Structure 1
Amino acid sequence: MTKNILYFLFLALFASSCSNTKHLPEGELLYTGGKIIVEKSKETTNKERKLLQTESNKLLIPKPNKKFLGLRYRLFFYNLAGDVKKEKGFGHWLKYTVGEPPVLFSQVDLQFNKSLLQNYVENNGYFNAKTTADSTRNGKKVEANYNINTKQQYKIKSVQFPTDSADISIEIYKTQLRSLLKDGNPYNLALIKEERVRIDSRLKEKGYFYFNPDYLKIQVDSTVADHQVDLIVKVKNEAPKIGKTSFKINKIIIYPNYGINADSLSVASDSIVKYKDFTIIDNEKLFEPRVFDRVLYFKKNDLYNRTNHNLSLNRLVNLGTFKFVKNQFIVSNTIGNYLDAYYYLTPLTKKSIRVEILAKTNSANYTGTELNVNWSNRNTFRGAELLTISAFGGFEVQLSGEKNGFNVYRFGSEANLIWPRFISPFKLNSSSGFVPRTKATLGYENQNRIKLYSLQTFKAAFGYIWKGNERTEHQLNVTEITFASPQNVSDLYNEQIAANESLRKVVEKQLIFGPTYSYTYTNTMQKRKKNTFFYKGSIDLSGNVTGLVTGANIKKGDTIKIFNIPFSQYVKIQNEFKHNYKLTKTSQISSRIIMGAAFAYGNSDEIPFSKQFFIGGTNSLRAFRSRSLGPGTYNGFNDSSTFLPDQSGDVKLEMNTEYRANIYRFINGALFVDAGNIWLLNDNVNKPGSKFSSKFLDEIAVGVGAGLRFDFSFLVLRTDLAFPIRKPYLPEGQRWVMDKVNFGNGAWLKENLVFNLAIGYPF
């Protein structure tokens, strides 16, 4: 049997190979690629040869048709599609999207590639190298052959920076400690060009606004020693005087209400405001002058530098108040070696209203719609503040799961006021290009769970948001208050509480207050990187100071109440890490790890229900219904309650890995593995097996599945089918259930196969 399979594969590959050349145009040959041989030499090490061969291979053009296991698969599909007359349809897709046309030898310019290789080796210090080019034909296939004889590579003997007394020469000399060119390193033209850019960047920090890398030359003297060169850094004689002049800042003129018409630059006598070092020309007096003192880094008589130049522009854009930001530096006509700085700022519309109709899903398998009405007022108090007031209402229906029919209706409102600065009794500053913000929030939500209960939630928060750079962000809420009050608890729900006491905590009044902090790092915006990361760590504290001051201790019966409600006291920490690895332009592997723990003490014996950890569902372990898994080895399906409770825990571990690839245009596919569980820190007599212990790895649930993602640009609709392969609530030794998988069995499908419909990617 195995021999037959191998024989069949051999025939398939042979037939495919023949078909690759069968359909070539008359007189044409198939180009199979270029082969470069770097000749062995006593003067060249094996490491140098391998590096040359690897890098020079990247230069050859064109690239041959792609191969996999010896099969030029894309060319195979191109030929398989035959003649396609229509510009759309399956045949066109197969021929031009899946397939690719043959790369012909007539498209190859051997002499051009030879010159590319010769230039490359010379630019890397092999000045005496010789390159030849030829080709080898085999039937209707041709391979290009290139031979490189390198000789000995030239190394850097010394790097000489200017030593004359000119100001610019002195500044260039000061940069030599961080030079990219080091004695003893190989000669490298690309690195020499980078060195010119590096020196220019350092000069830009010293006031040389009009300098550029082309004003520098680095002379090469190859006569100093055998296979060695001296590099001599000089400013070109033809460099203009203005490029060799260091400038300071003179006037700083700001137009905060600049438009494209000429009237925006007209100056009325009462529209000019002098504030510190700034001249603000604003006919409508839209902004308080102090706004610009906070965001502009330049002051009068400051030496020009590119860092402050870019930071100022970044902050103006980051204010979120201006539609366009334009900057110009002009040589002052009143004082020598000075620049006048002009800022032309076009404001966004001050007031706006936005109406959104959203389709939404959540981790509890609920799908629904929501209407949002958002009103915004930019520059509310003339200090670039942003006031937003929103009202929302919507409903959610569980399309699959144990709570089908228990629909959720919700409505509420939220107001946010953001100041583009730190509001604090202490002096706080941020030196990044991102404006720090102070944010105050007030909100109310009414959630009505049909047949069960309604829940009113009031919240308030005050805190700070700031970024160290484009990759890191901090958010500190000095205080965050949540008050939850249940209403209209139904008899049905009370009956279930009698059968399962854990349901009671869902409808208990809660008062939560305390600081929260989160730190986020991401480089996912760097699209060209093969590996990108996202990390978010957060800590949530409630009632800690109050509990300490009052001496609250629920274990001794000393429970402290505020407004006749016991306040919550706990510490909660959570870490989330994501990693994306790009395999090709259209495929990647995405992974996520979530680890969290929460500990109640003092005035509380358990974490508030809304702050506990949950697992399972469309954005979690997709092979398990939302919040139905755990804690530990506990099986909530065995409860005498007919209504399945939301299983929650104090500790959470979750891991997800997903292979994603494009299938056709807007359709993407995925294969995934999800694993994890939640646990309690303390024993619970009603939930045996739920306590976290050293055996936690033996209590991990695992699910696998596949799905489709329909990316409509404005909406990503996701469908996933998943099933468990490890069930932690089964007896030890029986938890792996891969041998029980049976897609032909209706009972197995009904019990194990979970369909998830969601919006957006799971992580």
Structure 2
Amino acid sequence: MKSTVFSIKYFLLLVLIAIYTTSCSGIKAVPEGEYLYVGPKIAVLPDSIYSKSERKAFDAEINALLFPKPNKSFWGMRPGLFFHNLKNPEKKSGLGHWLSKKFGEEPILLSNVDVNYNRDLIVNRLENKGYFNVRAEAEANTKVKTATVDYEVTPNAQFLIRDVSYASDSSRIWQDILKTEKHSLLKPNQPYNLDVIKQERVRIDTYLRNHGYFYFIDDYLLIQADSSVGKHQVDLRLVLKPTTPKIAKYPYSINDIFVYVGNNDANYFLNYKKDTVPNYKNIVITDLDSLFKPKIFDNTIHFKTGGLYNRRDQSISLNRLVNLGIFKFVKNQFVIADSLNHKLNVMYMLSPSEMKSLRFETTGKTNSASYTGFEVSTNWQHKNLFKGGERFKFSVFGGMDFQLGGNNQGYDIYRLGSELSINWPRLIAPFGINYTGDYVPRTQATIGYEFQKRMQLYALNTFKTSFGYNWKYRTFSEHNLDVIEIFYVSPTSVTELFQNQAQTNSYDARILNKQLTFGPTYSYTFTNTMLNKKNTWYYKGSADLSANIVGLLTGANVKKGKEKEILGVPFSQYAKVENDIRFYHKVSPRATLATRFLAGVAYPYGNSKEVPYLKQFFIGGSNSIRAFRPRSIGPGSYDPKTAPSSFLMDQSGDIKLEANIEYRPKLFSVFEGAIFVDAGNVWLINKNEARPGGEFTKDFYKDIAIGAGVGLRVDIELLIFRLDLAFPVRYPYGEDRWAKIDLLNSRWRKDNLLLNFAIGYPF
């Protein structure tokens, strides 16, 4: 074995040396008399007056400015140049040409670098930061075939703001500007910063545009700087440019609101009749085909006749009209209705989309539990069922999962079901709600049925219905409240094989019980991951309550023999809370560190000794702890392999803890890599003799399962295909729980390596 390990290490070393040599050989292709540009070297002088962190900040900011960027390197290797040099100039096809085009990089030469331009960029950027006496020198430094550009930068002292003043008068616009003074971003004793000055102009412009000044723009504001006051200080003075047009200095109010619905009159905005009488709540509506009820526009358009123009009202109105999902195009225009009294007409031109659609979908899938299968569905949708933007959807679906190997071979799963849902673009409630969010609030109702047959074992009939609300005040956060959500599960066609199993395992016997849950559910989601920021977050918190009021009113208490029923079925009573927190940190432009923490608890009480199976927590699989198969971990230190004649690997719990960390570097082209560690488990709140060691105790941390692995992802814009190869690091059960990892042993690899194929990131 030692000789084998030595041979492999020796082979890998030779491969690395070969790659390094061939990658660096790209330098040989640099034309005669040219030098490969390998990057800048920046020195901030004098060292004595700047701390290490300040010099590091200077270095990072200056580096970000300089152009062009050198060829990408990795441990001194330049694979982009290596692939580029595989191309034969005399051939326009072949493997070398394809590799060069796909993965190659043109060499960045010293002659491509405009040294004087970069030096001026540095001076300009630091002056914008308040270093008015900055000096910068630049010089190329060449070696045999490579070159750097050395920059020596002397920022000197940074100027601070001494005073901020306003060139105000008694006009309406200046009175409104002065109202914002206490919120100014420009503060005495703060460093002069041109970026902050620009933000201050935008802040004032936003305030004015939200208070009627439709024709105002931030470019009309000028902030003058006087740096002659001495002691490295500067005075700032806010003025209106002399060229500011008169029309921009007055707030405008809303006169009439016009809505045109149709696809035929592109010149409506030019030909509308100014004396048209409003036909619904001060809105002039022209709906050529009578497609919509007028109320839909009153719910979406936030402007009111007689009120001041407000850019936020404009944004809300457009967001809501687009969010309805029933218009292909939404156009908005403002025209002066009364120049003397400063009034505007607001006009919307709306092009309806197709309201009805029929979609047929088929999906093939596989998972790490050795199940392979498919699902087909047919969906019919109407986006405007009652002419108020109501979305109606009816779907029928069916599918099957079968195992090609594994413990459950032969116990194939068949599913067949349908669902009907309707979604209203408003809040339907017995009391009035004044909703002011950016998006259209929605009321939603669903009803559905699914039949699931697990061959040779049992079948389940599942009925579900819900009624609730969905709303978003801002882009980043969303609320979902189901006032009532009802699940009823009834088993049927239970085989003798499964009944025998249930007699020896009370935990599996739960599936034979009818399950009824009903109550409110609520979830809150926040995410800013769509922003191009260094650090972004995702959070989802949810709460699920079942029969809490009914259980209280009926005095249900199963522990005292007072189990209550509804229509002959004992109802489940529990409280469930779950939290999902994710943090994404951009380590570099080409690498991200993603982390996730999950915590949940479901507590049975009153009419229930345990949480119903369909509401419990599960762990493992391609989106969880990838080194273990789905639902094969827990609860606690319980080892599923010790169960007598156990053919079901569905382990569940009332408490769930999970943590994941994953490093995601971009490799090349559409390929990304991953290195990850997953950890977690599920536990029971109450002790269960059929699952010894499954209860949650103060030593819960000893039951944590840990897995690790590597992954490859292919990002083709619309889809991300993912392959993750994982292995156990620590088992939650047994005497010696830490795994003995032996990657060179074929038997160990067969027993422990688990390949997960999935679509999309795991989190």
TM-score with structure 1 setting the length: 0.91
SS in structure 1 of the partner of residue 126 of structure 2: helix
Structure 1 segment 121-270 matched on structure 2, within 5 A: 121-259=126-264, 261=266
Mapped contact 1:162–1:172 kept (Cα < 8 A) = no
Q: Say whether residues 1:754 and 2:754 are aligned partners.
A: yes
Counterpart among 54, 59, 62 of residue 65 in structure 2: 59
Distance 1:27 1:712, change over 3 A: closer
Q: Say whether residues 1:370 and 2:371 are aligned partners.
A: no
Mapped contact 1:33–1:144 kept (Cα < 8 A) = yes
For structure 1, list consecutive stretches of 5 or more residues without a partner in the other structure: none
For 1:268 and 1:209, locate their aligned partners in 2 and report how far apart those are by CA, in whole Å: 23
For 2:306 and 2:313, locate their aligned partners in 1 and report how far apart those are by CA, in whole Å: 13
Q: Say whether residues 1:725 and 2:729 are aligned partners.
A: yes
SS in structure 2 of the partner of residue 193 of structure 1: helix
Q: Alpha-carbon deviation of 1:111?
A: 2.2
Cα displacement string for residues 6-26 of structure 1 (whole angstroms, at most 9, x for unaligned residues): x99999899679745433201
Counterpart among 282, 288, 291 of residue 296 in structure 2: 291
Mapped contact 2:331–2:348 kept (Cα < 8 A) = yes
Mapped contact 1:287–1:382 kept (Cα < 8 A) = yes
Q: Say whether residues 1:446 and 2:451 are aligned partners.
A: yes
Matched letter for residue 522 of structure 1: T
Counterpart among 461, 464, 467 of residue 459 in structure 1: 464
What residue is the counterpart of 2:28 in the other structure?
22
What residue is the counterpart of 1:276 in the other structure?
281
For 1:132 and 1:294, locate their aligned partners in 2 and report how far apart those are by CA, in whole Å: 62
Q: Say whether residues 1:35 and 2:37 are aligned partners.
A: no
For 2:14 and 2:642, locate their aligned partners in 1 and report how far apart those are by CA, in whole Å: 53
Q: Alpha-carbon deviation of 1:574?
A: 1.3
Moved more, 441-450 or 192-201: 192-201
Q: Alpha-carbon deviation of 1:72?
A: 4.4
Counterpart among 731, 735, 738 of residue 736 in structure 1: 738
Mapped contact 2:213–2:309 kept (Cα < 8 A) = yes
Q: Say whether residues 1:578 and 2:579 are aligned partners.
A: no
Mapped contact 2:374–2:401 kept (Cα < 8 A) = yes
Distance 1:305 1:26, change over 3 A: same
Mapped contact 1:273–1:281 kept (Cα < 8 A) = no
Matched letter for residue 647 of structure 2: F
Distance 1:314 1:346, change over 3 A: same
For 1:169 and 1:315, locate their aligned partners in 2 and report how far apart those are by CA, in whole Å: 33
Q: Alpha-carbon deviation of 1:694?
A: 0.8
What residue is the counterpart of 2:622 in the other structure?
618
Mapped contact 1:65–1:72 kept (Cα < 8 A) = no
Distance 1:252 1:261, change over 3 A: closer
SS in structure 1 of the partner of residue 330 of structure 2: strand
For structure 2, list consecutive stretches of 5 or more residues without a partner in the other structure: 1-5
SS in structure 2 of the partner of residue 223 of structure 1: coil
Cα displacement string for residues 655-678 of structure 1 (whole angstroms, at most 9, x for unaligned residues): 222333445544444333222111
Q: Alpha-carbon deviation of 1:38?
A: 3.7
Matched letter for residue 755 of structure 1: L
What residue is the counterpart of 1:422 in the other structure?
427
Q: Alpha-carbon deviation of 1:251?
A: 0.5
Moved more, 511-520 or 753-762: 753-762
What residue is the counterpart of 1:601 in the other structure?
605
Mapped contact 1:503–1:645 kept (Cα < 8 A) = no
Structure 1 segment 312-461 matched on structure 2, within 5 A: 312-333=317-338, 336-361=341-366, 365-461=370-466
Q: Alpha-carbon deviation of 1:60?
A: 2.2
Q: Alpha-carbon deviation of 1:503?
A: 1.8
Moved more, 39-48 or 616-625: 39-48
Matched letter for residue 581 of structure 1: H
SS in structure 2 of the partner of residue 81 of structure 1: coil
Matched letter for residue 66 of structure 2: L
Distance 1:88 1:157, change over 3 A: farther
For 2:613 and 2:20, locate their aligned partners in 1 and report how far apart those are by CA, in whole Å: 65
Mapped contact 1:327–1:344 kept (Cα < 8 A) = yes
Distance 1:608 1:333, change over 3 A: same
What residue is the counterpart of 1:105 in the other structure?
110
What residue is the counterpart of 1:681 in the other structure?
685
Mapped contact 1:44–1:153 kept (Cα < 8 A) = no
Mapped contact 2:23–2:79 kept (Cα < 8 A) = no
Cα displacement string for residues 325-379 of structure 1 (whole angstroms, at most 9, x for unaligned residues): 1111111148630110001111221221111112245685533211111111122
Distance 1:665 1:405, change over 3 A: farther
Cα displacement string for residues 567-620 of structure 1 (whole angstroms, at most 9, x for unaligned residues): 111111111122333334454333322211111111111111111112222322
Distance 1:676 1:694, change over 3 A: same
Matched letter for residue 38 of structure 2: T
For 1:713 and 1:51, locate their aligned partners in 2 and report how far apart those are by CA, in whole Å: 34
What residue is the counterpart of 1:627 in the other structure?
631
Counterpart among 557, 570, 573 of residue 569 in structure 1: 573
Q: Say whether residues 1:530 and 2:531 are aligned partners.
A: no
What residue is the counterpart of 2:3 in the other structure?
none
Q: Say whether residues 1:590 and 2:591 are aligned partners.
A: no
What residue is the counterpart of 1:77 in the other structure?
82
Matched letter for residue 96 of structure 2: G
Distance 1:716 1:112, change over 3 A: closer
Matched letter for residue 647 of structure 1: Q
What residue is the counterpart of 2:547 in the other structure?
543
Q: Alpha-carbon deviation of 1:555?
A: 1.2
For 2:722 and 2:286, locate their aligned partners in 1 and report how far apart those are by CA, in whole Å: 52
For 1:619 and 1:48, locate their aligned partners in 2 and report how far apart those are by CA, in whole Å: 42
Mapped contact 2:26–2:78 kept (Cα < 8 A) = no
How many residue pairs were aligned? Answer: 755
For 1:59 and 1:709, locate their aligned partners in 2 and report how far apart those are by CA, in whole Å: 31
For 2:762 and 2:448, locate their aligned partners in 1 and report how far apart those are by CA, in whole Å: 27
Distance 1:562 1:65, change over 3 A: same
Q: Alpha-carbon deviation of 1:437?
A: 0.8
Mapped contact 2:103–2:668 kept (Cα < 8 A) = no
Mapped contact 1:77–1:94 kept (Cα < 8 A) = no
Q: Alpha-carbon deviation of 1:138?
A: 3.0
Counterpart among 471, 478, 487 of residue 482 in structure 1: 487
Distance 1:224 1:703, change over 3 A: closer
CA RMSD of aligned residues (A): 3.2
Q: Alpha-carbon deviation of 1:280?
A: 1.1
Cα displacement string for residues 243-279 of structure 1 (whole angstroms, at most 9, x for unaligned residues): 112111111111133546558998899x976112211
Distance 1:260 1:695, change over 3 A: farther
Aligned-residue sequence identity (percent) comes to 47
Mapped contact 1:321–1:347 kept (Cα < 8 A) = yes
SS in structure 2 of the partner of residue 658 of structure 1: strand
Mapped contact 1:77–1:98 kept (Cα < 8 A) = no
Moved more, 109-118 or 470-479: 109-118
SS in structure 1 of the partner of residue 227 of structure 2: strand
SS in structure 2 of the partner of residue 118 of structure 1: helix
For 1:355 and 1:272, locate their aligned partners in 2 and report how far apart those are by CA, in whole Å: 46
Mapped contact 1:656–1:675 kept (Cα < 8 A) = yes
Distance 1:535 1:365, change over 3 A: farther
Q: Alpha-carbon deviation of 1:102?
A: 2.7
Matched letter for residue 144 of structure 1: V
Distance 1:349 1:442, change over 3 A: same
Matched letter for residue 617 of structure 1: G
